[in-house]
């Protein structure tokens, strides 16, 4: 697990979590928010982010697949695990590890809208705009990355590399 092509360090990620956590705290004062983490990649980012949001909040998770063990999205979105708590009249923040094609998030946002939340926002650690096939509005963005395959800090290739404390190009 060499760190020869580190793109984003653990320190940079922590600093960004603090910044975005402060923004969310300011934007959602007095609101009933639910963070919905997209498994498995968002776990590390969501854990660091939520520690820096100074509000009462609830969390839940969804598991969605469009990659399998491939390096490119299949374009077919499949919900493997749905949320367990009601989001009606709540402010939902979808927490993602990376927005690439946008296909999964567009599908997910549409899917969750049917549950009548008050609002849906998107918070992603990484944004890869060059890979975009579907327009998606991102409310809170950590870092923009080039169109390369990256791993670490929750992002994987065939379930490996998730435990790296930084992000690197594979």
Contact assessment for residue 35 and residue 95, using Cβ atoms and an 8 Å cutoff: yes
Contact assessment for residue 57 and residue 33, using Cβ atoms and an 8 Å cutoff: yes
Question: Annotated catalytic residue: which of 100, 137, 146, 156?
Answer: 100
Three-point CA angle 20, 26, 31, nearest 5°: 110
> What DSSP character marks residue 31?
-
CA distance 36 to 108: 11
SS3 label, residue 2:
coil
- For this structure, is 48 an active site residue? no
Q: What are the catalytic residues?
A: 100
């Amino acid at each position: 697990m060499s760190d020869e092509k580190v793109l984003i360090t653990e320190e940079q990620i922590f600093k960004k979590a603090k910044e975005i956590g402060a923004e969310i705290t300011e934007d959602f004062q007095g609101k009933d928010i639910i963070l919905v983490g997209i498994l498995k990649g968002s776990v590390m980012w969501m854990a660091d982010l939520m520690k820096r949001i100074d509000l009462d909040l609830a969390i839940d998770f969804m598991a969605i697949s469009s990659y399998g063990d491939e390096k490119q999205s299949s374009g077919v979105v499949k919900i493997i695990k749905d949320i367990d708590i009601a989001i009606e009249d709540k402010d939902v923040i979808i927490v993602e590890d990376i927005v690439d094609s946008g296909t999964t998030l567009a599908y997910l946002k549409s899917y969750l809208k049917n549950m009548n939340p008050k609002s849906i926002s998107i918070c992603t650690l990484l944004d890869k705009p060059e890979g975009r096939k579907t327009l998606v509005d991102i409310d809170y963005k950590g870092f923009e990355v080039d169109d390369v395959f990256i791993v670490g800090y929750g992002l994987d290739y065939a379930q490996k590399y998730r435990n790296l404390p930084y992000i690197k190009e594979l």
